Chain A
Amino acid sequence: MRDVSMGQYYPTKSIIHRLDARIKLLLVIAYIVMLFFIPTVDNYLAKGGNLSDYVIKASCAFIVVMLFFIVSILLSRVPIGKVLKSIKAVLFLVIITAAIMLFFYSGSASHVYFQRGIISISLEGIISAAVMALRLFLLVIGPSLLTLTTTPVELTDGLERLLKPLTLIKVPVHDIAIIMSIALRLIPTLIEEADKITAAQKARLAEFDDGNIFKKVKAMLPVFVPLLVSSFRRADELAYAMDSRCYSGATGRTRMKVMRMRLRDFVAMFVMAAVFFAVLVFVYDFFGVTTLLVNLVGIAL
């Protein structure tokens, strides 16, 4: 798919798609912050907690987050495969991080199963690795649901409106937003053009994949120079076209699509707040909920 301007957007018209882009941005930020409230094993133990408490607290918190996330995906009607695809890019990172945690856990470990040199496998290491992998996984996959359900245009628009207060401290929010939106608009055109120029230079026997990096860069010049020239020409013409259509910056400009908060946006915020609260309840043992759970588990065992 060449249409970069649509990014990963997967159109289904679901309720998640129809949420206000500003709200979606805020929710994703809240979601990320929430993930960081779930402590790592090291941190928890360092504050004097014990391992079995940690396991119960963390798993409760993760279960809540996962449930929230799974329901969101189901509501968005985006195929689960599409959502999981984004993890591919960082899979390597996740595996490496988890592996380091697993084999080189350095904290004080209660149960060590294997030790040779600096390599040691311990219960704490295993839990650490699992928590780290889960956290990274959720961290990457959450924002990807945002880009799957929101077009880049909506995102830029949402960002512009969210950041609007910054104009008070002279941040050119509108200019940044229009630059982003024009970039989105021109990227597919420029990619197409780069393809055409490449074909034309190949027809003149240009070689692009020979030799070392310097040779390669030099070989790209016959594509890069015309592309640059044409970008300038396009920018020039676009400026005329915008001027001609009465563009004079943000002042006096209105928008056709008004972003208005609807009931669903308030519901979404409420749900997010509830999930966030639930995570805090489990992690910090508010109202003794976790203690109660620990005891219940203890009785059951």
Chain B
Amino acid sequence: MCYYIGMSFINFDNVSFTYSAGTQNEIRAVKNLSLSIEEGEFVALVGHNGSGKSTVAKLMNGLLIPRTGKVTVNGLDTADKKSLFEIRKNVGVVFQNPDNQMVATIIEDDVAFGPENLGLDPKEIRSRVDSALKSVDMYDYREGAPFRLSGGQKQRIAIAGVLAIKPRVMVLDESTSMLDPQGKKDIMDIVLRLNREEKMTVIMITHFMDEAALADKIFVMEDGELVLSGGKEVLKSPRLIQNGLGYPPAVSLAKRLREGGMDVGEVYTDDELVEEICRLL
């Protein structure tokens, strides 16, 4: 990984972050982390709870500022207060708990919150809100209250709230971890579409390896440190077994089939595995 500074869209240069620094509860959440993310990539950042991955999400748009090192977004330093507004316009974050990121009691008002903060014209806000809600298939609910929605639907509203700001990067900080399987699938479908069709940069922070299997680039964190990074081949690394994250299901099944003498090629997702098995039978 040798990029010129300023070339990658998001750049972490030897970043460390410590919670409650200087007290006895001091926690070094992120240690000497360097990574870069290009525009249009689908990136997965995986690790156990407490590995520092959510801290990384908050470092990405200046919600937290590195203690040492530097985070830049599109060349702007997150430590520079004057750049924060511009950075947050470019990097939106969907958080874990759908109940804790809604500000308004009416769905469309909630989605409007971001563009309203940008100071846009009311007509422009309306059109952004409508198209964001349509994009997550929640337009019909726009005048309702979020209170009675399922977790998955609430999370779709949260995504719409980020989309209405029209960021270039969407960070999903364990956004599927509280959802049921259907809700999870809906979110993944939306995120994949945004990346593939609208060329949005997606950074998925997760501990579900089946979700990570959809990414082009994978970072693995342990105890605040980046231990693996690269393309899909990371998903086959034995380190994932050692640290208990495990392989994506398709990877471990393919491995067992190979041990049984079947010549299964490189697969990472269930559909790829099914395709490969059909080819071999």
A253 to B117, CA, bound (A): 5
| Cβ-defined contact, B117 with A240, below 8 A | no
| Cβ-defined contact, A242 with B129, below 8 A | no
* Residues of chain B within 8 A of A241, CB atoms compared: 93, 95, 100-101, 103
* Contact flag A237-B100 (CB < 8 Å), given A181-B105, A256-B126: yes
| Cβ-defined contact, A256 with B100, below 8 A | no
A21-29, A101-109, A244-252: which lies at the interface: A244-252
Q: Does A222 contact B (CB under 8 A)?
A: no
A233-265 interface bits toward B, Cβ cutoff 8 Å, 1 = contact, 0 = none: 110011011111111100011111110000000
Q: Does B165 contact A (CB under 8 A)?
A: yes
* Residues of chain A within 8 A of B145, CB atoms compared: 3, 5-6
A254 to B99, CA, bound (A): 25
* Contact flag A245-B100 (CB < 8 Å), given A181-B105, A256-B112, A257-B122: no
| Cβ-defined contact, B105 with A6, below 8 A | yes
User: Which of B63, B103, B114, B120 counts the most A-chain CB atoms under 10 A from its CB?
Assistant: B103
* Residues of chain A within 8 A of B125, CB atoms compared: 254-256
* Contact flag A245-B147 (CB < 8 Å), given A256-B109, A257-B109: no
| Cβ-defined contact, A248 with B93, below 8 A | no
Q: Does B88 contact A (CB under 8 A)?
A: yes
* Residues of chain B within 8 A of A3, CB atoms compared: 145, 147-148
Query: Closest CB of chain A to B128's CB: distance in Å?
Result: 9
| Cβ-defined contact, A242 with B103, below 8 A | yes
Interface band, chain A: 20 to 34
Q: Closest A residue to B121 by CB, please name it.
A: A254
Q: Does A152 contact B (CB under 8 A)?
A: yes
Count of chain B residues near A, Cβ 8 A: 40
| Cβ-defined contact, A256 with B104, below 8 A | no
Q: Closest B residue to A230 by CB, please name it.
A: B100
A241 to B104, CA, bound (A): 12
* Contact flag A245-B113 (CB < 8 Å), given A237-B100, A238-B100: yes
A152 to B148, CA, bound (A): 17
A189 to B99, CA, bound (A): 7
| Contact of A185 (CB < 8 Å), options: B105, B119, B165 | B105
| Cβ-defined contact, B165 with A246, below 8 A | yes
| Total A-B contacts with CB atoms under 8 angstroms apart | 105
| Cβ-defined contact, A184 with B100, below 8 A | no
Within 8 A of A (CB), among B110-148: 112-122, 125-126, 129, 145, 147-148
| Contact of B101 (CB < 8 Å), options: A6, A184, A188, A237 | A237
A5 to B146, CA, bound (A): 10
| Cβ-defined contact, A244 with B88, below 8 A | yes
* Residues of chain A within 8 A of B115, CB atoms compared: 256
Q: Closest A residue to B158 by CB, please name it.
A: A241
Q: Does A55 contact B (CB under 8 A)?
A: no
| Cβ-defined contact, B88 with A246, below 8 A | yes
| Cβ-defined contact, B104 with A255, below 8 A | no
| Cβ-defined contact, B147 with A5, below 8 A | yes
| Contact of A246 (CB < 8 Å), options: B89, B97, B109 | B89
| Contact of A248 (CB < 8 Å), options: B102, B103, B117, B165 | B117
A240 to B109, CA, bound (A): 18
* Residues of chain B within 8 A of A248, CB atoms compared: 85, 117
Q: Closest A residue to B102 by CB, please name it.
A: A185
Query: Closest CB of chain A to B160's CB: distance in Å?
Result: 11
* Residues of chain B within 8 A of A178, CB atoms compared: 103
A156 to B119, CA, bound (A): 20
- Contacts A253-B116, A257-B112 aside, 12 further interface pairs with beta carbons under 8 A come to A6-B105, A151-B105, A153-B104, A181-B104, A233-B100, A240-B95, A241-B95, A244-B92, A245-B114, A246-B88, A246-B165, A254-B116
Nearest 9 interchain pairs by C-beta: A241-B101, A237-B100, A256-B112, A256-B125, A245-B114, A246-B117, A252-B119, A5-B105, A244-B93
